[in-house]
């Protein structure tokens, strides 16, 4: 969800206003996902590297997260949305950790769209945590090294139980992964859109999915399309 700051700067507004409008875009994206029949939607809300931003901006982002959970959790629950949080929980302030736990616990029985919020998340850091946990199991004698295969490592990631993404949408025209779902996106399709995230709407979401359906997904094999 890239381009909040640039959206604000292009309008002579403070960066926090771009982040506020970005939250509005999250709401639209969730509604669009439900309308389009998407089963899993992952939003990259705050990366492990975002802590490097100025303290005032980090504080603004934390405030917007709190506001989103307090204002929107009831609506998400009412729309049968299940919330999953991925990312490092250790070291988070108790109020933030409590809100994340509340969002997951309150919606855990829902069966509609699964909204995965990547918070304090980095793809490399996720893999490192998984490898360390598996190494501990080996050291304790609970796991044999030769038993570690792709499925075992995948099951040790934050996204266990969640299918790999079919489509990654990157806004603002940027053409890099930025440490997002590094393992899981090995065979995802990428759609780069020029809009800054606050301008991302249902039409842009629908167009990205239409583009995805035009792709020929071979997964290393031969084309499944004829003609």
Active site residue 2: yes
- Cβ-contact 57, 103 below 8 angstroms: no
Residue of 2, 60, 120, 158 marked active site: 2
Task: Give the position of tokens 């992964």.
Answer: 177
- Active-site annotation holds for 95: no
* Residue among 17, 31, 66 nearest 45 (CA): 66
Q: Could you tell me which of 33, 63, 72 has the C-alpha nearest to residue 205?
A: 33
CB-based burial of residue 138 (10 Å sphere; 0-12 exposed, 13-18 middle, 19+ buried)? middle
Which is catalytic among the residues 4, 24, 50, 146? Answer: 50
Active centre residues (catalytic): 2, 50
């Amino acid at each position: 969800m890239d381009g909040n700051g640039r959206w604000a700067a292009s309008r002579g507004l403070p960066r926090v206003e771009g982040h506020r409008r970005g939250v509005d875009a999250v709401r639209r994206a969730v509604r669009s996902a439900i309308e389009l029949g998407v089963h899993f939607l992952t939003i990259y809300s705050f990366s492990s590297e975002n802590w490097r931003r100025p303290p005032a901006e980090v504080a603004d982002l934390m405030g917007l997260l709190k506001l989103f959970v307090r204002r929107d959790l009831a609506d998400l629950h009412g729309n049968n949305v299940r919330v999953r949080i991925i990312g490092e929980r250790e070291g988070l302030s108790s109020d933030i950790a409590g809100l994340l736990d509340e969002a997951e616990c309150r919606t855990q029985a829902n069966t509609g769209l699964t909204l995965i919020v990547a918070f304090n998340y980095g793809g490399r850091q996720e893999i490192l945590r998984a490898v360390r946990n598996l190494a501990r199991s080996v050291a304790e004698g609970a796991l044999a090294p030769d038993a570690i295969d792709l499925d075992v490592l995948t099951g040790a990631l934050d996204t266990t139980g969640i299918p790999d993404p079919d489509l990654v949408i990157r806004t603002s025209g940027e053409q890099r992964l930025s440490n997002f779902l590094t393992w899981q996106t090995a065979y995802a399709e990428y759609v780069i859109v020029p809009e800054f995230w606050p301008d991302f709407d249902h039409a842009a979401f629908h167009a990205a999915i239409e583009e995805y359906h035009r792709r020929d997904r071979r997964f290393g094999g031969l084309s499944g399309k004829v003609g």
